[in-house]
Chains A and B, each alone.
Chain A
Amino acid sequence: MTERYDVLVVGAGPARVAAARAAASHGARVGLLDAQARHGGQVWRHDVLHGTPRPARIAFDLLARTRGHVEWLPQHQVISADHRTLLVETPRAAVRLSCGSMVLATGARELLLPFPGWTLPGVTGAGGIQALAKQGWPVRGKRVVVAGSGPLLLAAAATLRRHGARVLGICEQAPAAAVAAFAMQLWRWPARAVQAAVLRTRLAGIPYRCGSFVRMAHGRDALCGVDVDDPHGPLHIPCDLLAVGYGLVPNVELASMLGCALDHTRIHPCVRVDTLLRTSTANVYAAGESCGIAGLAAARIEGSMAGHAAAGFPAAATALLPSRQRARRFADLLAQHFALDARTRTLAGADTIICRCEDVTLAALDGFTDARAARLATRCGMGACQGRICGTTLAELDRFPHGGTRPPLFPARLATLATGDPSTP
């Protein structure tokens, strides 16, 4: 059986909530798919100690009061897609959902760059451990180094501190001059400036090292310390946890499966959209980080635009275009000032593991210029993540572009694939 909606919104974060609200405001019957059990996604994730962030609460309340009908579908993981029909797995069953139009707000994942020791227990993504801490994973009393690049490091550090971790320092790879130049521009985006000021207060006393990055993590069975390259000289910092993230990479796998053209101008592809956020596939729209990393504000605006357009009200979408352009300019500012130092891409040694699913080292990938040839010969990218981590890393290391994803989009029960069939509604 296939359940039908006017508009299906897929994703987890703020763009998705805005899209559902905008579409429903025109009376559309909206299905709001979320792989998680709770609203929120990464940015607005519910915190076991501190609840849901205030802007998220407001957004969810508005959503609940929206005219029309938004059906929230938690724990609905999209497995495959075809012609505006989605095959979805829930904890107990498989369902097929079809729609008149679809909004993809699939967000982004962290960029992880390999360095010796990066696979040790205790080393996590900066966003990864932030999510874990919000969900109750104990960090109290743990000595944590936060490293990588971009403002999200500050948010991760603040969350960790709120949960009782001892944040020993933040290593930002961008040089001090670039970070200062970025801060000088912040007045143009007052909301961001306020956010930065709040974070600064919450992070008082924590060293913020610019131009520094973790060169190596030490430990036998678990992390015990990190070597940091700092403009003032090398440092060794004993610690229990390392939270490291070098920015974000758009999630484009579902869009790609739906046949949407991707934009390959940057290292990592994003979904190509026009001014109304239409993808190249008819009646499929995309919003937020999947169209290029631009942050929360752009995601909310684009979510609304895509929601309006998907519900058949392009004028309402067009009205938001100037705000979108403004928000996107903030993204350009970020990309410009937090561009990765070439040294962060040269840390992995010959025996550093690149593909964690299949234990493939960097040296094993020497000589390959194509993801498929490398995969066939070494199994790099053949694991459960289908190269989401290593494929992204290898593109960043300028080895070869990510080879793409085959169904299922995420590991799924065989029973789901046997009963759900998106191409014969």
Chain B
Amino acid sequence: MSHYDLIVVGAGIVGASCADEATAAGLRVAIVEPGPIGGGATACGMGHLVAMDDDPAELALARYSLRRWEDHADLAEAEFSRCGTLWVARNETEAAGIAQRVARLEASGGEAEAVDAQALYRLEPALAPGLCGGMLAPREAVVYPPRVALHLVRRARQRGASLYAGRAVRRLGRATVTLDDGTVLAGPTLVATGCALPELLPQLPLRPRKGHLLITDRYPGLLHHQVLELGYASSAHGTAGSSVAFNVQPRPTGQILIGSSREFDVTDPAVSGPMLQRMLQRAFDFMPALRGLQAIRAWTGFRPTTPDGRPYLGAVPDSTDLWVAAGHEGLGVTTALGSARLMLDLLQGRPPAIDPAPYAPARALA
């Protein structure tokens, strides 16, 4: 039986970040991943590094994490592109909320500014006429998450971590895990398996939330910022069975990544024609020029969603040396690095830089 200071189960962006952070702290680490590194939700999302201001706890974690992401701004593997985030208002009601959102983002230590309609069209001339201005977060960026996860795992391995690739955890014991080939590893265990969390920790409620994305051929110069509708948060954080929101991203290649959709209670990973149709119609409402572009690929993914939308970060209640970092929904890439730092602080008994209480797994069992 091999002994480790930490066994990280799952090598998505969250598990990879935890393994990287743990090896940086000198821990002897094992990583267990049955599939490709960063092959789950990490591979399916947009890789948008964004602060959302509607939940103060989520905002604190995002801000803490976004500062960590700045360390990766020059990393080739990250494909870090500081395109900024431009939120657009459809009507005066949405526009009226901008001042408050700017204030909240700035209070959290971020940069944000209101833009009037004229400035909006200067920033993104292809937007549909009739929009009422918006809000620009100029320092926000996009990355390519699967390669970051791969980089973090490689770095952890250079620092001595063992990777159990192609292996799944069959059973969690008391500070041991049993792999599907019968291997037993001993040590404190951190479960970061995203949507697969219920297989190992069924006591923590988590539902997969399906999303669609589509990427176009290369159209350099058509889109400059990650552009979202201000109503995005109500789609993202609402609990409707299905919803769509306008969310487009310029990739460094000139390709345009188009989202987004959210569906509960769907397990089929196939691209759904009706959902794609709704999502694209929404995008055309905000950017009619998209209609004539060539789509080259559509795909889906599943976001690990907790009942209150916040991730589980901390000790698993009623267990020994068992930890969890999962349930980041659509913000796993943004908050992975901060989540990992927070987990290491908790694991090593240090007071974290941000209040861990809102993410404590115990809340789900209360």
Interface, chain A (partner B; CB < 8 A): 80, 82, 87, 370, 372-373, 376-377, 382-384, 386, 406-408, 411-415, 417-424
Contact = CB atoms under 8 A, between A and B. Distances in A.
A329 to B, nearest CB: 39
Contacts of A419: 277
Contacts of A386: 296-297
Given A373-B39, A414-B293, 12 more contacts: A80-B271, A376-B150, A406-B298, A407-B271, A411-B294, A415-B292, A417-B295, A417-B298, A418-B276, A421-B274, A422-B273, A423-B274
A96 to B, nearest CB: 10
Contacts of A414: 214, 216, 258, 280, 283-284, 290-295
Contact of B36 (A80, A82, A373, A406): A373
A187 B299 CA distance: 51
14 contacts: A376-B39, A376-B43, A376-B146, A377-B147, A384-B296, A406-B271, A406-B298, A407-B271, A408-B296, A411-B217, A414-B216, A419-B277, A421-B277, A423-B272
A418 B271 contact: no
A420 B295 CA distance: 14
B295 A372 contact: no
B38 interface: yes
Contacts of A373: 35-37, 39
Interface string B260-278: 0000000000011110110
B36 A382 contact: no
Nearest to A421: B273
A418 B297 contact: no
Contacts of B291: 413-415, 418
B235 interface: no
A115 B319 CA distance: 58
Interface in B288-346: 290-299
B108 interface: no
B281 interface: yes
| Top-8 shortest CB links A-B | A373-B36, A418-B280, A376-B146, A421-B273, A415-B291, A411-B294, A423-B273, A384-B296
**Residue among B43, B291, B297 with max Cβ neighbours from chain A (10 Å):** B297
A377 B150 contact: yes
Contacts of A413: 291-295
Contacts of B284: 414-415, 418
Contacts of B37: 373, 376-377
A418 B278 CA distance: 7
A8 B43 CA distance: 37
A373 B258 CA distance: 23
Contacts of B147: 376-377
A412 B291 CA distance: 10
Interface size class of B (residues with CB under 8 A): 20 to 34
A406 B277 contact: no
Contacts of B43: 376
A413 B289 CA distance: 11
Contacts of B299: 406
A190 to B, nearest CB: 46
B36 A370 contact: yes
Contacts of A417: 214, 276-277, 280, 295, 298
Nearest to A80: B273
A377 B296 contact: no
Contacts of B280: 414, 417-418
Interface string B149-171: 01000000000000000000000
A419 B273 CA distance: 9
A408 B274 contact: no
Contact of B273 (A370, A372, A406, A424): A424
A210 B97 CA distance: 76
B273 A408 contact: no
Contacts of B293: 413-414
Nearest to B145: A376
A87 B297 contact: no
Contacts of B292: 413-415
A377 B146 contact: yes
Contacts of A424: 273-274
Contacts of B273: 80, 82, 87, 420-424
B283 to A, nearest CB: 8
Contacts of B294: 384, 411-414
Nearest to A423: B273
A179 B258 CA distance: 53
A407 B276 CA distance: 11
Contact of B295 (A370, A376, A377, A411): A411
A261 B147 CA distance: 33
Nearest to B36: A373
Interface in B35-72: 35-39, 43
Contacts of A408: 295-298
A418 B39 contact: no
Contacts of B297: 382, 386, 406-408
B277 A418 contact: yes
B97 to A, nearest CB: 29
A376 B36 contact: yes
A413 B258 CA distance: 13
Contacts of A377: 36-37, 146-147, 150
Nearest to B271: A407
B257 to A, nearest CB: 12
Contacts of B296: 383-384, 386, 408, 411
Contacts of B217: 384, 411
Given A386-B297, A407-B271, A423-B272, A372 B277 contact: no
Contacts of B277: 417-419, 421
A411 B39 CA distance: 24
B284 to A, nearest CB: 7
A377 B76 CA distance: 12
Interface in B191-219: 214, 216-217
A38 to B, nearest CB: 23
